[in-house]
Amino acid sequence: MEGCGSSVVMVAGTSSLKLQRCLVSSVPKIERKEKPTISYLRYPAVMTCECHGYTAISWTWYMTNGSKQVRFPSVCQVTQPDRYVISKKSASITELKILKLTKEDGGEYSCEATFELGKSEGRLKLKVLSFMAPLKPFIAIVIEVVTLVALIVCYEIYSTKVKRTGKPFLAFH
């Protein structure tokens, strides 16, 4: 069986140490959200990458700007140190948190994990919307509700009037 030779990867679980021999001949795959992460302007966004059961030596986050890959932490970090927070949630999970999103933050990101055997990459998408996007269906539904309530109330007033003035001998129903 092809293996990693003498390399043994130790993964710390919550209460016990699991010894797991690296039995793959290639680097582990990164697990991340397939669908784009959607967040809103001036709100934070969180993106996570995970390599199940393995420990990466280091993680690096990139943002694809056109064709260029910009690395985090980048020059931006110096001027706006509070904008990005890269944290290691556990041995196999990394998280990039962008506080106070701007329109330019939307796009493709990639998280790269460095293992003994090499590097592995996962791609994620971030969509930044303004609140106008869900606001349109919201207003449409509110208008529908108000219209329906008004219609029902008007119909009731109308039918009460008809029954009172129009047909006094029939039973009120």
User: Using CB under 8 A, which of the segments 3-11, 100-108, 113-121, 142-150 binds another protein?
Assistant: 142-150
| Widest pairwise Cα distance in the chain | 98
Note whether 66 binds another protein by CB under 8 A. Answer: no
Site string for another protein, 85-104 (x = CB under 8 A): ----x-----x---------
Grouping H, G, I as helix, E, B as strand and the rest as coil, residue 22 is coil
To the nearest whole angstrom, how small is the minimum distance from the Cβ of residue 98 to another protein?
12
Note whether 148 binds another protein by CB under 8 A. Answer: yes
How far is Cα 83 from Cα 123, in angstroms, rounded to an integer?
Answer: 21
Comparing CB distances to another protein, the nearer of 10 and 142 is: 142
To the nearest whole angstrom, how small is the minimum distance from the Cβ of residue 142 to another protein?
5
Q: How would you classify the pairing of strands 119-129 and 31-32?
A: unpaired
Both tokens of 132, joined, read: 């106008």
How far is Cα 24 from Cα 143, in angstroms, rounded to an integer?
Answer: 58
Q: Which of residues 103-132 bind another protein (CB under 8 A)?
A: 127, 129, 131
Give the Å distances, CA to CA, from 142 to 61, 137, 139, 150, 152: 42, 9, 5, 12, 15
By rule CB under 8 A, what count of residues binds another protein?
Answer: 32
Which one among 8, 12, 153, 162 touches another protein, defined by CB under 8 A?
A: 153
Residue 112 contacts residue 119 (beta carbons within 8 Å): yes
| Full 3-state SS string of 34-60 | CCCEEEECCCCEEEEEECCCCCCCEEE
Residue 25 contacts residue 2 (beta carbons within 8 Å): yes
User: Using CB under 8 A, which of the segments 18-26, 32-40, 72-80, 109-117 binds another protein?
Assistant: 32-40
Comparing CB distances to another protein, the nearer of 10 and 145 is: 145
Note whether 37 binds another protein by CB under 8 A. Answer: yes
- Residues in contact with another protein by CB under 8 A are 35, 37-40, 43-44, 46, 48, 89, 95, 127, 129, 131, 133-135, 137-139, 141-142, 145, 148-149, 152-153, 156, 160, 171-173
